[in-house]
Structure 1
Amino acid sequence: MTATNMAASMELRCWGADWGLPSVHTESLIVLAYAKFSGADLTVAPIDWTWRTLTATVPELICQESRVTEPAQILNFLRKLRFNADYELSARQGADTMAYIALLEEKLRPALLHTFWVDTENYASLTRPWFASRSPFPLNFLVPCRHANTALSRILLTKSESPLHTITDVEGKIYSEAKECLNLLSHRLGAAYYFFGNTPCSLDAFVFGFIAPLHKASLPSSPLQNHLRQLENLQRFCDHILSAHFSSHPGSPQPVQEMVDANLQKLTQLVNKESNLIEKMDDNLRSSPQHKPLRSDPRPNSSDHRNSTPA
């Protein structure tokens, strides 16, 4: 069977779209972005509203008899099918890609987990309600709690070294490292649209997956999001990928010009409608019978004046 035939039946199971993103889930965003960059045609199957919200490992790529999870493994699988967004990279750029992805995992992921799943205000106001609303009863009570516990355990497992043993102890460290990571990414990207050349590659997919939720989510409490807002090139990087590769997605915002054109069209239609209504009313007034106004004429009647007798 050819790669083309196999590609036609590829299905990606992932968390669904919101916040102007094709998915709110970092790992799902990585795969979705890479598929766009490499030209892989995937059928997206959100696990929202299903019992798989508790049991599924997402993202999960299903192709014929193959089931692949984890972004790195899925990207390797796509490369074997000749969907390779990295084919123009040099050996040095390939090595840099691996180094930056490792940096994201070590320095940025713990802070993102804390921001969305451990921070009390963010969890109560945004994360928990979103995942609960996408899970059927009674999983809506279990899914957010399970993700939060997993996030907390992962942070403590990777960052709680002596003398830092509690989540409160490690907060300062993980946010300091995350801000440093964002600064390095911003410096490396510079004024370019992508990290290597004029076309996106796997590093762009990973960076997009990590920072796009932080960029787009309405977080009530996030020092990391505030720091990202100072790095305009990283924000532009996310917005460019969304507009260039996901502009037709229902979860993504319309380009500014399209929104202006749509609003202008609506305004024109409204003006035309009002003009037609006014013209119709004017025609009705013109065709209606004209009667003498029911009011007294202040001018004296000439015949009465002639017939009047002087005192």
Structure 2
Amino acid sequence: MAAAMELRCWGGDWGLPSVHSESLIVLAYAKFSGAKVTVSPVDWTWKTLTATVPELLCGDIVIQEPPHILSFFRKQRFNADYELTARQGADTMAYIALLEEKLRPALLHTFWVDAENYSNLTRPWFASRSPFPLNFLVPSRHASAALSRILLTKGEAPLHRITEVEGKIYSDAKECLNLLSYRLGTANYFFGNSPSSLDAFVFGFVAPLHKASLPSSPLQSHLRQLDNLTRFCDTILAVYFSSEHPCSSPPVQETMDANLQKLTQLVNKESNLIEKMDDNLRSSPQHKPHRPDTKPSLSSEKSSTPA
């Protein structure tokens, strides 16, 4: 019997099972492949400072980083990519590399470097999930790591300061989102009718940007113009992460069905009410031959008015 698998990750908010992109990738792939994992949020513990998440524990084995965790799932025969062709497998690797190079720096800047977003959303959230005194240390440590990573990967000469690379990283990120939107088209998933590892990576990167209430984000404004990408995230959340309907249809169809049901109930209720009014009027001794909804004519009103 295979050992139980435990996944340590940051907890959820904003309608997401986790606010952490890497954790979302692993959570989504586990759902896609049918891997049974026990999720253990690191929130409220001292691990908020020391843990590298996501972290998968299986017996004596400890695995970190989404690519390594996904590879371990496949070795355990939980494979969401088994139907992909060789060409689709190559495309998956290319698009994941594109996400890492073009989109990740802009996401790091949006959540951790942008002063307004950091002060009003990111820092308060992570501070509230960390015990004292780590609530003062964890957010600043993540912000410093994000800034260092951006400058290390994008701060090549002559762009040495963060203010000099902002325009470049956001331009690259918008281009990346446009390419993803074009590749997805009108489909629910990137390859066929079932989600794969590419869908897990795109969901992990895009969903926090889609769901977070960011005070300032030109990248979020751009994403909201790409309806198919936002619908892609909503569909995965509804189908794979809905606690009430784990395999439900996309939220748009659910809303239409619910509205249709409410409308039908309302029409039936009004019909019953009208029938009761008609019955009461017919049984009343003062019932007149004209229909209940017929109003007296203007001439009859004038003739009945005393001079």
- TM-score, length basis structure 1: 0.80
Instruction: Could you list the structure 1 runs, at least 4 aligned residues long, displaced by more than 3 angstroms after superposition.
Output: 254-261
Contact 2:44/2:129 (<8 A) preserved: yes
Q: Which has the larger radius of gyration?
A: 1
In the TM superposition, what whole-angstrom CA distance separates every residue of 1:168-193 from its partner, at most 9, and x where no partner exists?
00000000000000000000000000
Contact 1:247/1:255 (<8 A) preserved: no
Q: Which residue of 1 aligns with 2:212?
A: 217
SS at the partner of 2:39? Answer: strand
Describe the shift of the 1:249–1:142 C-alpha distance in structure 2 as closer, same or farther (beyond 3 A): farther
1:299-310 equivalent positions in 2, closer than 5 A: none
What are the ranges of 5 or more consecutive residues in structure 2 without an aligned counterpart? Answer: 267-307
- The letter of the residue matching 1:158 is T
CA RMSD of aligned residues (A): 2.1
Task: Considering Cα pairs closer than 8 Å and 6+ residues apart, tell me whether 1 or 2 has the greater RCO.
Answer: 1
What are the ranges of 5 or more consecutive residues in structure 1 without an aligned counterpart? Answer: 269-311
In 2, the alpha carbon distance for the partners of 1:249 and 1:201 equals: 24
- The letter of the residue matching 1:21 is L
Contact 1:179/1:224 (<8 A) preserved: yes
1:63-82 equivalent positions in 2, closer than 5 A: 63-82=58-77
SS at the partner of 1:11? Answer: strand
Q: Which residue of 1 aligns with 2:225?
A: 230
Contact 1:22/1:249 (<8 A) preserved: no
- TM-score, length basis structure 2: 0.81
Quick check: 1:107 aligned with 2:64? no
SS at the partner of 1:219? Answer: coil
TM-superposed deviation, 1:255: 4.9
- The letter of the residue matching 1:170 is V
TM-superposed deviation, 1:213: 0.1
In 2, the alpha carbon distance for the partners of 1:127 and 1:141 equals: 13
Q: Which residue of 1 aligns with 2:143?
A: 148
In the TM superposition, what whole-angstrom CA distance separates every residue of 1:50-77 from its partner, at most 9, and x where no partner exists?
0000000000000011000000000000
- 1:48 equivalent among 43, 65, 72: 43
Q: Which residue of 1 aligns with 2:24?
A: 29
TM-superposed deviation, 1:260: 5.1
Contact 1:128/1:144 (<8 A) preserved: yes
Contact 2:235/2:251 (<8 A) preserved: no
Quick check: 1:160 aligned with 2:155? yes
Contact 2:183/2:190 (<8 A) preserved: yes
- 1:60 equivalent among 55, 58, 61: 55
In the TM superposition, what whole-angstrom CA distance separates every residue of 1:134-157 from its partner, at most 9, and x where no partner exists?
000000000000000000000000
Q: Which residue of 2 aligns with 1:90?
A: 85
In 1, the alpha carbon distance for the partners of 2:122 and 2:237 equals: 22
Q: How many residues align?
A: 258
In the TM superposition, what whole-angstrom CA distance separates every residue of 1:13-59 from its partner, at most 9, and x where no partner exists?
00001000000000000000000000001100000000000000000
Contact 1:15/1:58 (<8 A) preserved: yes
Quick check: 1:134 aligned with 2:129? yes
Q: Which residue of 1 aligns with 2:239?
A: 244
SS at the partner of 1:13? Answer: strand
Quick check: 1:118 aligned with 2:113? yes
SS at the partner of 1:33? Answer: helix
- The letter of the residue matching 1:200 is P
SS at the partner of 2:62? Answer: strand
In 1, the alpha carbon distance for the partners of 2:189 and 2:40 equals: 28
